[in-house]
Structure formats: structure tokens, C-alpha cells
Structure 1
Amino acid sequence: MSLPGLSHAPDETADVIIVGAGPGGSATAAYLAMAGLDVLLLEKTHFPREKVCGDGLTPRAVRELITLGIPTPENDGWIKNKGLRIIGGGMRLQLDWPDVASFPPYGLVRTRQDFDDILARHAVKHGARLREGVNVNGAIRDERTGAIIGVEAKEMGADERPTGRKLAYHAPLVIAADGNSSRLSLAMGREKREDRPMGVAVRAYYTSPRHDDDYLESWLELWTTDPSGKRVLLPGYGWIFGVGDGTSNVGLGILNTSSAFGRTDYKDVMRQWVATMPEEWTYNEETITGPIRGAALPMGFNRQPHYADGLLLVGDAGGMVNPFNGEGIAYAMESGRLAAEVVAQAFARTDDAGRERVLQTYPRVMKDALGGYFTVGRLFAQLIGNPDVMKFAVRYGLPRKTMMQVLLKVMANLGDEHGGKLDDRVMSVLSKVVPAA
């Protein structure tokens, strides 16, 4: 029965529906289209569109871009960086990205307004069908099995407001790449796990002469005041990433493992931190280009199972943010690549039972790839939630450059996967022997 004032568009069908055209969704769509599958990629907004992010890409993310076939020439707005500059405890330490066989020795910066659009168009180039302005708000389920067989959505106009038109799409497999809130996962009864760390990030852009810095910059001392008036060191870091267009992306990421989490105005923490910077950097209320915006960072596989009942999760929808450093883009794209490998093999089966059997291997594939490493990351997040541990790490870790170089490799997950040095082998063994959960 139609509701007054609403119109229905004809249903569309596909082999696979992907909800969300961020890095995870678009990477998955591109790989599946290359494999010959009919893919519908649904994005609730219209490109180009903004996303809260640091815009910094580590070598792990760059590897995914290379594998996907995305060109990143500097004359097309891709800003290369050599490594990470760390500031804290009165020290300034500059560390190059490790030069290992498994990863390129450089990172990149690209705003999400450009980045996501580039990836979505890459998926379209390879055959995916992109539908913008499709705000998915529910699952269509098989009445007999309860499995998802499609999605319902509202059409959004160019002004990002509902037009009143209702949409429906059908496919034997649906992939949720709809971010931290993942309304589609919730519609299928897949709630977040409360035993996993969560982060929050806030950021803004400032016009600044530091816009072309060839190192990402991380500040390890962010302070707030508790209700008693005592200063508290927060578990997280501030960042300054030069965007190369006359602006810097300035922001901070904080873990929920601190007692101050949820009782702190992080936008105010950022304003206070920015106010301590040298005047010549021009990070102030006159040079800020827009409001400070915030977003949640779902970490350590905080939503599971990653596949069940016809719904597969990639990226933030599956809590695939690194608990060590809050990086999400690399893992969204990596999960999309791994998901596409499983899905392509599944659709090569000639019967439903065979396809389902292959799809059910995806949670194990993800745990084998990242589960042990994320478990260690969760332990790290718990440790630095203690202000005393955080102070100790800043005071005694930063003066030891060799140790910090190893720590950079660990926190950015850049160990050489094919042997390499002793620290690479230790990282590899540790991520395999630690239980994935």
C-alpha cells in the first residue's frame, strides 16, 4: 500500500549490493566488477562530499591504492610524505617510514572530498553501477529464512533532502560499508560490541604556510581538566597534516579507555591545543575554513559476525579501525579486497549451498588477516588509558629513536610480511599467536 505523497521507483537487481561508497565500499565494488559480477554501489549523498578524517594515508593505505590501480601522481593533487614527526615531552622526533619490501616507503595526503570520489569513479570505470542520493534505511528479508535479499531506501535530492521517492534494490548478497553507525547492520540485529575500544576524532582545516609539510605530524600530549580541577593527560594524539592546497588538516583522536571519555568537550580540547601553537603557523579563528567536525572511530572488530544471513561487513561497519593509531582507510580498503576475493569465489559456485559455504569463510579470513594484531592493539589501548602509563611512555620512549622507529612500524602495521629484520619476524609471530576475537 502506497503512502500519500510518496512514489515508488522500479526495483533494481544485481549480484551484489554494496551500501556506502567510502573507501571500503568502492574498493569492494571495483574488485567485484573486475571479477565480472553485477554490482550496485549505493551512496546516500552526492559526490563530492566531505568526511571527517585526518586525510593522511600511511604506506599501508598507499599499498592498497597501488593494488587497486589508482594512480597517485603529485601533479594531480596527491601530496607525498616521508614519515612521521612526533612531538611530546619537550622533544621533536622525525621518523621515516620503514623501507620494507611489503610496503612503499612513503605516505600520501588527499582530502576525503576528493579521495572518496576518485575511488567511486574507479569502481564505475570497471563496471560497477553507482547510485548517488540513495539513503538505505532498511533491509528486505526473506520471509522463510530471515536472510537479507535486498534493501529499502529513500531518494535524496541534490540538496541532500528526501524527495519523497521510495527505492528498493534486490540481490542475493548485500555488503554493508555504511560506516560506524551502519544502519543496515542494526536492521539485521548486529549491534556493536561494548568490549572493544572506541575512539573519537575532531578536525578542521586552517589556511597556513605549513600546508606543504612533507612529514605527517603527531603531538602526544593532549590535556583536559577533570571535575576536581586536576589536569589529565588524554590517551590519543593531535595531528597536523599539510594538504598542499594552502591549508592544513588539524585534529585530534582520543580513545574511550580514559576515565575522561564522554565527559570531555573534545572540540574545546582542540581549540586549547591549537592556541598553544606558534603564531606564524596561523592556526586561529581567523584562518579556520569551517567548523570543527567530529566522528566516531570503531576499533578492533567491534561489530561481528562479519558475515551472516546474507550480509557481509567491510570497513568501519565491521569495526575495522586500527586500535594503535586510529587508521581506518587502509583497513577499509584491505577488507574490501579480501571480501571481494571471497565473494568472487562464492559466486563461482553453481548452487546456493556452495556459495553460502564459501561466504561463511569471510569472518575467518578477516581474523587471520588482522585479528591477532587488533587484539594486541586493544591491549595497547587499555594500557595508555592510564594517564601514568601515557606519561611514562612519552617521557622515556621518545628519547630512544631506535625504539620509536620500531614502535612506528608496529603502530602503523608496517612489518615486512616476507621475513625481514628481527622486529618484522616478532611482529609476524605475535599477530599469529595472539588469539583473534
Structure 2
Amino acid sequence: MNPKLLFWVPALLRLGLLFAFAGLVWWWMGLVAGLSLALAAAVTAIIVQLSYLQKLGEWLEHPQETRLPDGWGAWTEAFARLYHLRRDDKKHQAELTEWLARFRQAMHLLPEGVAIMDDVLFLEWCNPALERHLGLTMERDKGLRVTNLVRHPDFIDYIILGRYEQPLTLAFRGRKIECRIIPFENRRQILVTHDATDTERIEAMRRDFIANASHELRTPLTVIVGFLEIAMADPGLDVTTRTAHLTLMTEQAQRMQRLIQDMLTLSRLESDEFPLKRERVDIKLLVESIAAEARALSGGRHTIEVAVDGPDVMGSMEELRSAFANLASNAVRYSPNGGTIRLAWSRGPDALAFAVTDCGIGIDPEHIPRLTERFYRVDKSRSRETQGTGLGLAIVKHVLLRHGGKLTITSQPGKGSTFAATLPNTSLPA
């Protein structure tokens, strides 16, 4: 039925009944009595309507579902509709509150920084990532101009000039921060920041790796090609010279072979195509075999001590042998003749550790954080003398990462070093 009819039909019926009753009183008791009754009924109806209007006005000032007044006549339907509207409004408000909480939680967890600014660059909101990137604090800086908070000339020029087609990269507080402005609505802008420090570092490492690998391969290839050209140009070389040339070529070819083998090992360790295959590793047998290899490499120039005081572990025998052997061979190469090298396996309260302690030349503190980088050498000339490839500690690091462990280095220049490969207690056999 038409809503208008639902309102007017009951109202007209009530008026008709009122006038009919007043007519009966007029017929029964006279004109004055009938008019008095009609007037009293009209005044009562007006007072009732005004009281309901007052209640409605009070409720509209403080709309609460529990305080909605009851009604009579057409007010019953009006208050019922208001009740449903208020209930739906509360439901939608609860849903919006839930979605807003989810949005804020998502924004807080984003690694990217996000800030909302108005058209005159006043900060309205930002997430914790942007606070870290640009050194802002939401509670302190809300309502302040962003260009007054981030006083970097390039950042200010980027925002004021409005050239937002390309992102801006800032060197800010020791980090590389990438900024981008996105227009939002008519009077809003979104500032998005990204910490590109790690990306830049990885890219620099990639460039260094390619350059270092090319350099390391070029040297032996130059020697081999040079001697081959001499041999081809002068077939009548004496036996002594030819033997010397062949010996040097063999050494350089072996050096190149070791380098390529280590590079392939690193590539395999970093690849997801070669998952870790765990097996029970006999630690005593492994450490004793590594000690035997170290004694053979030393040729009697060092004293090799062994101490095994810990259980077996679960892991890759081949990979752990490679990591532990690299640590032991480095100790032999960098320890002076007559020194003592100690290989020890032990179990601590939180981890298992294979520690190699030497009495070698030691390492300055500024070099220690970079020792596991590919091709990084503290003393390049000494590394060439000891036939190192510069990839050994990088291999150790990646082997330990695959086993959930880490490499700890402590050293004092002139007093020796300790390289400890630690594995978590979760590596213990069940």
C-alpha cells in the first residue's frame, strides 16, 4: 500500500470518530456541550503531538537506541522507523569501526611508509614505517607542515615543484629512502616512502661480485694464455723453461678450478632447488678427519689440538664438512710456523659450537663485519700466497644459515682469532 495512505487513512478515521462522538454529544446534550468536547479533544491532541515532538527533539540531540520513546498513533510508526534506522546505523558504525581497525593494523604492519597530507602539506596521519624512515612522530607532529619536519633540500624541492612522475631517492639519516607523492582526492596527498638501503647494498654486492670474479679469473687466464703464446712462438724452448712454464700454468689452472668450484658451491647453497638433506652426523669422526686434513696442509709446521665434548647433530655431512674444513684451513694458512691451532666441538646451554682458535696474525675490528663477503680479503697479497679464493667464509656463512646457525668471530691483532660456527639445539637427534 502507498505509504501516504498508511498515514492519512488512520488519521482521518480518528478525526471522523472524534467528530462523530462530538455530534452525538451535541444531539444528546446540546450544541455547547458538543463544541466543548470537540475543542477539549483538539487541545488534548495538540498537547500530545507537542509532547511527542519534544521527546523527538530530546532524542535527536542524544540518539540512543535504549532511550527511544514509545508513541501513539502515527508516532508509533515514526518511532519504529527511527528505531530501525538507529539500529542499522549502529550496525554500520560497528562495521566501519572494525574495518578502520583492520586498515590501521594493516598500515602499521606495512614495511612501506605511508602518510596523508592536506593540500598545504600539513600532516594528518602516518604509519610507524614512515616515522622510522623520516624521523617523525605521529602524536607530536600531527598538524604540522611536512616540509618543516623533513628539512632536506631535495625533499623540499621535490614536494614544492610537484614533479611526481619519478620517485625521489634521499640519503637520509644514514639510509637510502625512496619517496613518492600520490595525489589523493581534491585536497589530499599521499606520501609513500621505501627504505632502499638493503636493495642498494645488494646491488653493490652484485656489482662487486661480478668485478671481483672477473678479476680473479682474468689473472690465471692471462698467465696461461701468455705461456701458451710463448710456447707456440718458440717451439724450441729448453726442457727446464718449458717445465717451469707448465708448472706455473698448472698452478694457475688449479687456482681457477678452485675458484669456480667455490662459486658453484655458493650458488648451490643459495638455490632453493637444493633443499637441505638432514642425516645424523658423527661429530667425533668429522672433527678428527678435519684435523687430519689440517695436519696434512700444515706439513708439521703447526700443532693441531682436538677436543670433542658434545653430541652428534642432524644436518648435511657434506656441507658441515665444507664449512668446518674452511675454518680449519684458514687457521693453518694464517698462523705462523710453530703456532698451535685448536679445533673444539662443545655443547653450551643454548647452542652447539665448532670453534677454531689460532695464534695467528689476528684481524682488526673494522674488517670483522665484512669477512663473510665474497672475495673480501684483509691482506690480498697474503691471500694469494696461501692460495685462498676469498669465498671460504662466505661458504661457511651460507652453510650455517641453512642449518639455522651463525658464525661468530672474535680476534685481537697479533694475538690470534677464534671462529665459532654455532648450531641451534634443535639440530640434536630426536
Interval of TM-score (by shorter of Structure 1 and Structure 2): under 0.3
Considering fraction of residues, name the structure with more strand: 1
Scaled by the length of structure 1, what TM-score is found? Answer: 0.18
Considering fraction of residues, name the structure with more helix: 2
Larger Rg: 2
Higher relative contact order (CA 8 A, sep 6+): 1
Scaled by the length of structure 2, what TM-score is found? Answer: 0.18
